Amino acid sequence: MNETRRAILEAIADGPVSGPDVAESLGISRAAVWKQIDGLREAGFEIEGGSTGYELTGVAAYNAPAVEFGLEAPFSIDYHQSIGSTNDRARELATDGASDVGVLADEQTGSRGRLKREWTSPSGGVWLSIVLRPEVAPARASLYTLAAAVATARAAREAGVDARIKWPNDVVVPVDDEGGYRKLAGILTEMEGETDRIAWLVVGIGVNANVDAGALPAEATSIRAEAGDVDRRAFVQRLLEEFDDLRTDLEAVVPAWRELALTLGQRVRVERPTDELVGEAVDVTDSGALVVETDDGRETVSAGDCEHLRPT
Ligand code: BT5
């Protein structure tokens, strides 16, 4: 959003201010104020223009200016009504040198999960890919995935959903006391770098927000199905703010993750590229690896697919 528009919104956010007063405080003409107010209304900002002046009464829109306005985290937004994959777009921006951008779409037509699995992204969801250039070693990259899971779960909990985390990257809603769940959100992190330094990181977050469960794969759920529709603009802002807090305090990530984990204490089967493990998930390490107590002792798994098993 351009600086003039942002300044106008800030001026009229807390009550009516007359057009001439806005013009004077910003050092622009009254005609310029009218023009900018028109543009803001077109972008979905609800601005009343009574006898006492202009007042911002609501933000119904879900687009780049709407998400950027009032966002208390240093991300700019690259919004698309429909796109193939926000992760692909984010990768392009990352390759061009971008940082701290959130690519956001209402709908994706070619989105993917891990290992090139399909990801369903109908209109109404929150499909977001964050471009970062953190100055850390690649070994710490998984902390950003865990941070995204915590941020997503926290935002979903604020929206009234009993969101928990399944190792390593799923935000789920429990359906019983035995580790059963439905998947609410998934995370796909991609990166480029050298052994000792990340060049860029793209953290792709897919949340089934205002989507009918019938439009999703079986065993998935949505915020709509759990708690009713959410204001997506406010939801994305909360998610980005929580994520920003965690990425600037990486030590806080694993403790926060543990608090929300559904996997700890569960009997699990973890599929690794070459074998599988069965046992009880007892902890996560400081780098986010899962510690499983098997019949043959403790094993630590840094990547894989994890299934919760019914207690024996
Ligand atoms: C994931 O993969 O969970 C990561 C999903 C990441 C999606 C985001 S959306 C924004 C960004 N842009 C992209 O193109 N991707 C990212 P994984 O753990 O591999 O889980 C994939 C599996 O989840 C699929 O095989 C399905 O079984 C299931 N699935 C597909 N779509 C789903 C949905 N919308 N909700 C819940 N489960 C789904």
Provide the pLDDT for residue 288.
Answer: 87
* Ligand 1 mean position, distance from CA 168 (Å): 13
pLDDT in tens, 70-82: 999 999 999 999 9
State the residue for tokens 């959410």: 230
* Ligand 1 mean position, distance from CA 120 (Å): 7
* CA 204 – CA 187 distance, rounded (Å): 5
* CA 1 – CA 39 distance, rounded (Å): 11
pLDDT in tens, 21-35: 999 999 999 999 999
Of the pLDDT bands very low, low, confident and very high (cuts 50, 70, 90), residue 303 is confident
Q: Taking residues 154-178, report their average pLDDT.
A: 96
Atom of ligand 1 nearest to the CA of 122: 34
Provide the pLDDT for residue 77.
Answer: 97
Mutate to test the pocket of ligand 1, among 112, 119, 208, 236 (most ligand atoms within 8 A of CB): 119
Q: What is the pTM of this model?
A: 0.94
Can you give the C-alpha Rg of the chain in angstroms? 22
pLDDT in tens, 88-137: 999 999 999 999 999 999 999 999 999 889 999 999 999 999 999 999 98
Q: Taking residues 54-61, report their average pLDDT.
A: 93
Which domains occur in the chain, in start order?
Answer: 3-59 (1.10.10.10), 64-260 (3.30.930.10), 267-309 (2.30.30.100)
* Ligand 1 mean position, distance from CA 79 (Å): 20
Main-chain phi, psi angles of 147, to 5 degrees: -65, -40
Give the number of other Cβ atoms within 10 Å of residue 58's Cβ.
11
Tell me which residues have their CB closer than 6 angstroms to ligand 1. 85-87, 108, 111-115, 117-121, 127, 129, 170, 183, 186-188, 204-206, 208, 216-217, 220
Q: Has residue 311 got a pLDDT over 80? A: no
Looking at the DSSP bridge assignments, the partners of residue 107 are 82
Q: Has residue 235 got a pLDDT over 90? A: yes
Q: Taking residues 31-58, report their average pLDDT.
A: 94
* CA 113 – CA 155 distance, rounded (Å): 21
Provide the pLDDT for residue 101.
Answer: 98
Q: Atom 33 of ligand 1 has which residue's CA nearest to it?
A: 120
Average pLDDT of the chain, as a whole number: 95
Provide the pLDDT for residue 179.
Answer: 86
* Ligand 1 mean position, distance from CA 174 (Å): 18
Q: Has residue 274 got a pLDDT over 90? A: no
Provide the pLDDT for residue 15.
Answer: 85
Provide the pLDDT for residue 168.
Answer: 87
Q: Atom 3 of ligand 1 has which residue's CA nearest to it?
A: 186
Provide the pLDDT for residue 250.
Answer: 95
* Ligand 1 mean position, distance from CA 118 (Å): 6
